Structures are given as C-alpha cells and as structure tokens.
Structure 1
Amino acid sequence: MPRLTKNEDVCITCHRCETICAWVHEVVFNPDKGRVIVDLDYPDEHRLRICIQCGRCADACPMDAFYQDFNILTTSEQGIYRLDESKCTGCGECIEACPTKVLQFYPDRRVPRKCDFCLGQPMCARYCPTNALGWVLM
C-alpha cells in the first residue's frame, strides 16, 4: 500500500510542495493555502508537516464530518480520512486534535483544509525537486 513519506534532511525549503498543493486544490499559487506545511525556524532548521491519516480529526468531530475513503488505502490498509464540508460546522475540534497541526481553517470559510493525498497521486511528492516528500509503496 502507498504511503506519503518525508525526509527533512533533503528539504531545501523551496515551498514547491505547498504551492503545488494550493494550485491543485484552490487554483492559486499561494503556499499559505496548501495542505502541506514547511515550518521554518531560525537559523537553519525546518520541519515538514503532513497529514499522517491517523483519524484523530474524525474521532474529535462531533458532526461526523470526516469519513474514510477506502478507494485510497494507507499502509495500515485503512482508507484515507476525507472531509464532508456539508456536515462541518466549523467548531475546530478536529484542528485541536490534529497531532501534526497540519489542519487549518480556510481564512474565508469555517472548514479545515484536509489532505486527501490528491486521490492517490500526491502532487507535493511528484513535484518535490529533492524527493523530500515521496509516495512510496510499502
């Protein structure tokens, strides 16, 4: 089964992953709207934050707005977690529960941005120039 992997040692902080993610999902070249986050800390440390599909967002949601899509499986052979925006009330419980803190609200809507692994073709991994992000079959 495929898995999104990260190798922060080879990340050059170009923000291409964030930018391509925003383009695929929002049709804007704005890294702040991506579902992948490159944190920069002074002076030379950085961290890639990606959704690990742990399901804590789904467990925390009082409206059952998250569901598992078994068309795309993770290494544990569980479906990826996706958001049904029509059920989301914007309470923020999922954002508080996210262990990687990658879930964030859209600034103009009260729903979180949720990684969907680009439905099995993650563009962040495809366009990463150093393979800091990868889509690996396990």
Structure 2
Amino acid sequence: MYAKTMIGALACVLLASPAVAQQQAPAAADDSVQVRISKNVAASAPYKLAPQEFGAYAQPYLLETGLVLTFEQHRHRYFTQVRNEAKVEIFPLAAGVFTSGDGTLFVFRDGGDTIAVSHLERMPFAQHARIEPGRVYMAAR
C-alpha cells in the first residue's frame, strides 16, 4: 500500500519503525515521497500511546538555537511550548513520533534523551526566533 506524505522528513522518520520501509520517488515540486507501509501497520489508525509512554518525553529539551522546548501531557492530549508562548498541541504518529497541526515533526530517540525537530519554522513562535526553514534541529535534555 502506498501513501503520499506532505513532508519528506516524515518518510525518513518512519524508517525508525521496523514495520515501515521507504521508497523515494523522483524529486517533485512539492518534495513529496512515497512510503510503503507493511501489512502490519494500519495507515489510517492513529497511534495510541501506552499509559506511561509520554512520561519519557515530558522534559525540557535545549535546541541548538538556545530555545528550550518543553513537552507535557494533559489526560490524552500532548503539548509542546517554548518559554511563555502559547502551548501547541501535538499528535502521536508512531512510537516516539509526533506532529503538530501545522506539520512540525518531533522524533524522540534514545528513550527520550534526544529529539529531532523538522519544520520548526511552522511553529507560532518561529517568527520571533532565528529558525532556518527546512532545517532539522537537534535537542537534548
């Protein structure tokens, strides 16, 4: 089964999951890629976190830019925030992989010790920070 993604970074992130394989299509104007999803991954079903799973990510992370991203959970909803800016809801895609409504992608690794953030320029605070479009930012706690 093939599904088009809006951002190429998502395909790279999905490679971290053993059930997903990536096959890149020729470069297109919209940077879309094709992702082959194996039969044991439900493409339409949202990922549901285990009860304590988000606890590993609910920490502050220092970005290369000097900004500190914090993550928190309120019942079954997840949020990120920078300083005193408004909280932004994020949605789980897979284990350790979240996206915001505007397409910012958060990939937690090493048990939550590090994070890679793609399309940070889409976050509401980005216009006030020195965020380079299209760059992947790394952070650690």
TM-score (norm 2): 0.30
TM-score (norm 1): 0.30
Bigger proportion of residues as strand: 2
Bigger proportion of residues as helix: 1
